[in-house]
């Protein structure tokens, strides 16, 4: 209407570009509908162009007024397009940020044992692989322990599985707090846990493991007014690059079972 009344040279037809940008950012239509909409705007603009070439506007205005309209319309069109892009770019960044946070949350959940809150077996393997890389580049020692709650089946049978869960959660809580300063703790499966002692040879790791063993042994586990004495048996092995991580874990596991056969509640290294 503006073009028909005042002419092509006012530049108002360029608002179709802003309309196109706004529609493409806000529309949830499928691709075909979007293309038809854009095609319709193209036809409107071309039609106005040819109409203006053959017919005079209803109101003929002075060249200076045309120039003023052209400047104002150009300014507003660029401002509107810029504002549309800024707003929707900010929304996209916000959505992307939320997606990243959600993905991180999912990754953390996928890597965390839901009962104990410790890293699960898959995450522990990733951690061990990273540690192995550091072992070669930073000339560091590290040791691995596999440990198992003693008489866990008897605890479940006598007090119920809820009690077993309570024991595992409390053991995990103690391990997590203790291992933060010396290494890493993960739930390996069932009532088994994996511990890594960074920058520790087997003798140094054994001393830390002994302190942890005493700490758990002296902790009162109280369930339904019953005081439980909880102990673990530990197998400890220092990582050797020639053997590899799987063999190191296997040796630590075998040592742990040796400790079980010898009476439990001890460290074999």
Say whether pLDDT at 142 is over 90: yes
Averaged pLDDT, 146-155: 96
Q: What is the pLDDT of residue 110?
A: 72
Note the helical H segments in the chain: 2-6, 15-26, 31-54, 63-111, 121-137, 152-159, 161-179, 202-217, 245-261
Q: What is the pLDDT of residue 40?
A: 92
Q: What secondary structure, in 3-state letters, does 139-175 show?
A: CCCEEEEEEEECCHHHHHHHHCHHHHHHHHHHHHHHH
Would you place residue 22 in the very low, low, confident or very high pLDDT band (cuts 50, 70, 90)? confident
Q: What is the pLDDT of residue 240?
A: 87
Alpha-carbon dihedral angle through residues 59, 65, 70, 76, given to the nearest 10 degrees: -100
Averaged pLDDT, 167-177: 97
Cβ-proximal residues to 192 (8 Å cutoff; 6+ apart), any chain: 146, 147, 148
Q: Residues 192-250: pLDDT tens digits? A: 999 999 999 999 999 999 999 999 999 989 999 889 999 999 999 999 888 899 999 99
Q: Please report, rounded to a whole number, the percentage of residues in the chain having pLDDT higher than 70.
A: 99
Residue where the block lists tokens 């209803």: 58
Q: What is the pLDDT of residue 30?
A: 85
Would you place residue 109 in the very low, low, confident or very high pLDDT band (cuts 50, 70, 90)? low
């Amino acid at each position: 209407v503006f073009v028909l009344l005042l002419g092509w040279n006012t530049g108002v037809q360029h608002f179709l570009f802003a309309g196109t940008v706004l529609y493409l950012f806000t529309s949830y239509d499928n691709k075909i509908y979007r293309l038809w909409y854009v095609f319709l705007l193209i036809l409107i603009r071309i039609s106005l162009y040819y109409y203006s070439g053959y017919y005079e506007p209803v109101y003929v205005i002075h060249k200076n007024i045309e120039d003023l309209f052209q400047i104002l319309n150009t300014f507003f069109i660029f401002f509107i397009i810029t504002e549309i892009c800024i707003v929707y770019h900010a929304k996209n960044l916000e959505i992307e940020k939320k997606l990243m946070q959600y993905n991180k949350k999912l990754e953390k959940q996928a890597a965390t044992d839901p009962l104990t809150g410790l890293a699960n077996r898959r995450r522990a393997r990733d951690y061990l692989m990273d540690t192995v890389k550091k072992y070669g580049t930073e000339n560091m020692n590290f040791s691995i322990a596999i440990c198992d709650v003693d008489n866990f089946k008897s605890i479940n049978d006598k007090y119920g599985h809820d009690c077993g869960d309570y024991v595992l959660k409390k053991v995990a809580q103690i391990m997590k707090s203790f291992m933060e300063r010396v290494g890493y703790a993960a739930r390996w499966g069932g009532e088994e846990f994996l511990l890594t002692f960074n920058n520790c040879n087997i003798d140094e790791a054994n001393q830390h493991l002994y302190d942890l063993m005493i700490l758990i042994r002296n902790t009162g586990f109280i369930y339904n007014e019953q005081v439980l004495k909880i102990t673990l048996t530990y197998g400890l092995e220092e990582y050797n690059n020639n053997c590899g991580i799987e063999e190191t874990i296997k040796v630590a596991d075998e040592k742990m079972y040796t400790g079980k056969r010898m009476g439990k509640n001890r460290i074999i290294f």
